[in-house]
């Protein structure tokens, strides 16, 4: 299949907008400081983003099978823009929650629609590599977030100004995508709630959907707790601790760049098994890190080995049932609700244990992903 760069580029740029959601990680630290929030109330912010993945993923997958992936994706990008602009109406905790709701709804739509649309503009045989490339682009966006927030604070005096930049970029991306002609594949039968939910009777699909739940729980849980871990355990200030988030996203970016190159050349299943096992090891070592330098090293290594897990889980599952890509995409993005459930569990546990000990919840999530890789081998 010949790939059209003019059709591919706006779809790939949508992943850059997708990465804007990770601003929630650094935002929680500033919101906690600005509004004097407790750990539990702070972790409500990412929940307001990620709860929508559970509620809206299946409806979005059904809508895109009826109205088209490009239209639904464009709508999701515009909703993201709206969420970015809201805090400039009035900066308060309730309005910031509402802003994150719109960002969450928009990001849910983007994540459900982008992967199937990417499959339409790429060679199916190289889909796992393009998924890693798309996640690499998302990682660049995620990496830039904490850096740009620091620039916003030092140069403009207000961290929120980064939201304004993100909002305008989202609008421009939506316009570019809307003006691009893309021929979409049509499903053999229209996706429905029952067709989607019926797939969960397949034990492999259920296992892999839960693996996405655990993986996003790790990603968001680490993203939103790196600042607190470094500041509480090593007495670092908020700006210095925010660099830990940048280290994490830089390692994710590097991992996904490498994945985009090698995943089409290596055994994806063996790579899935190996990297999921290493994720357990490095998260466990982060929990017991004895200095900021060691903590930074294991934050980076965790991102490096876990960066391609989403692409691996998604592409390996689609390989089993390629004609059910819309339904599988909906189910897997629904499982992104792990990002709304795991962080509050970590926040609640911090009422009783240290920030480092609370991250054992992430080690358990990584353990499940490794188990899922073993189960996949049996199918």
Q: What is the mean pLDDT of residues 186-207?
A: 80
Question: Among the ranges 62-66, 112-116, 185-189, 309-313, which has the highest mean pLDDT value?
Answer: 309-313
Please tell me the distance from the alpha carbon of residue 65 to that of residue 86, in angstroms, as a whole number.
Answer: 30
Give DSSP secondary structure letters for 258-291: HHHHHTTTS-HHHHHHHHHHHHHHHHHHHHT--S
More confident residue, 135 or 251: 251
* Cα dihedral sign, 74-76-78-81: negative
User: What does the pLDDT read at residue 169?
Assistant: 95
**DSSP alpha helix (H) spans, 68-160:** 69-85, 93-120, 127-151
Would you say residue 189 has pLDDT above 70? no
Please tell me the distance from the alpha carbon of residue 132 to that of residue 143, in angstroms, as a whole number.
Answer: 16
| E strand or H helix at 26 | helix 23-35
User: What does the pLDDT read at residue 174?
Assistant: 96
User: What does the pLDDT read at residue 218?
Assistant: 95
Q: What is the mean pLDDT of residues 94-120?
A: 90
Q: What is the mean pLDDT of residues 75-82?
A: 96
Q: Each residue of 40-56: pLDDT tens digit?
A: 788 788 778 878 888 88
pLDDT bracket for residue 190 (50, 70, 90): low
Would you say residue 191 has pLDDT above 70? no
Please tell me the distance from the alpha carbon of residue 362 to that of residue 365, in angstroms, as a whole number.
Answer: 5
User: What does the pLDDT read at residue 179?
Assistant: 93
Tokens of 266: 């290596």
Please tell me the distance from the alpha carbon of residue 254 to that of residue 310, in angstroms, as a whole number.
Answer: 15
Exposure letters 246-271 (e unless 16+ CB within 10 A, then b):
bbbbbbbbbbbbebbeebbeeebeeb
In whole numbers, what is the pLDDT of the chain averaged over residues?
87
User: What does the pLDDT read at residue 327?
Assistant: 79
Q: What is the mean pLDDT of residues 81-108?
A: 91
User: What does the pLDDT read at residue 50?
Assistant: 76
* Cα dihedral sign, 94-47-315-272: positive
Domains of the chain: 5-377 (1.20.1250.20)
User: What does the pLDDT read at residue 106?
Assistant: 94
Q: What is the mean pLDDT of residues 1-18?
A: 86
């Amino acid at each position: 299949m010949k790939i059209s760069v003019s059709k591919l580029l706006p779809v790939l740029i949508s992943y850059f907008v997708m990465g804007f959601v990770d601003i929630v990680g650094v935002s929680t630290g500033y919101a906690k400081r600005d509004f004097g929030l407790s750990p539990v109330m702070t972790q409500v912010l990412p929940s307001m983003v990620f709860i929508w993945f559970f509620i809206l993923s299946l409806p979005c997958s059904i809508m895109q099978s009826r109205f088209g992936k490009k239209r639904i994706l464009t709508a999701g990008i515009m909703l993201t823009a709206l969420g970015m602009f809201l805090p400039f109406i009035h900066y308060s905790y309730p309005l910031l929650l509402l802003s994150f709701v719109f960002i969450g709804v928009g990001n849910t739509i983007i994540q459900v629609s982008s992967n199937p649309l990417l499959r339409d503009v790429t060679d199916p045989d190289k889909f796992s590599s393009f998924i890693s490339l798309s996640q690499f682009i998302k990682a660049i966006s995620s990496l830039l977030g904490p850096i740009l927030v620091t620039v916003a604070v030092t140069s403009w005096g207000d961290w929120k100004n980064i939201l304004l930049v993100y909002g305008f970029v989202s609008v421009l991306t939506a316009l570019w995508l809307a003006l691009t002609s893309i021929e979409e594949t049509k499903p053999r039968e229209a996706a429905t709630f029952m067709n989607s939910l019926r797939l969960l009777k397949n034990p492999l699909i259920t296992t892999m959907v839960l693996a996405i739940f655990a993986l996003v729980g790790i990603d968001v849980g680490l993203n939103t707790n790196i600042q607190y871990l470094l500041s509480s355990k090593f007495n670092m200030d908020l700006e210095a601790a925010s660099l830990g988030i940048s280290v994490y996203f830089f390692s994710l970016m590097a991992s996904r760049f490498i994945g985009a190159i090698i995943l089409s050349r290596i055994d994806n299943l063996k790579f899935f098994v190996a990297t999921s096992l290493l994720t357990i090891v490095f998260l466990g070592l982060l929990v017991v890190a004895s200095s900021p330098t060691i903590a930074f090293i294991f934050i980076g290594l965790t991102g490096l080995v876990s960066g391609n897990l989403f692409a691996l889980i998604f592409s390996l599952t689609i390989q089993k049932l390629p004609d059910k890509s819309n339904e599988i995409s909906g189910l897997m993005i629904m499982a992104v609700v792990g990002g709304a459930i795991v962080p509050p569990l970590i926040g609640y546990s911090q009422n009783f244990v240290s920030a480092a000990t609370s991250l054992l919840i992430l080690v358990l999530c990584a353990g499940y992903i490794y188990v899922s890789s073993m189960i996949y081998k049996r199918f």
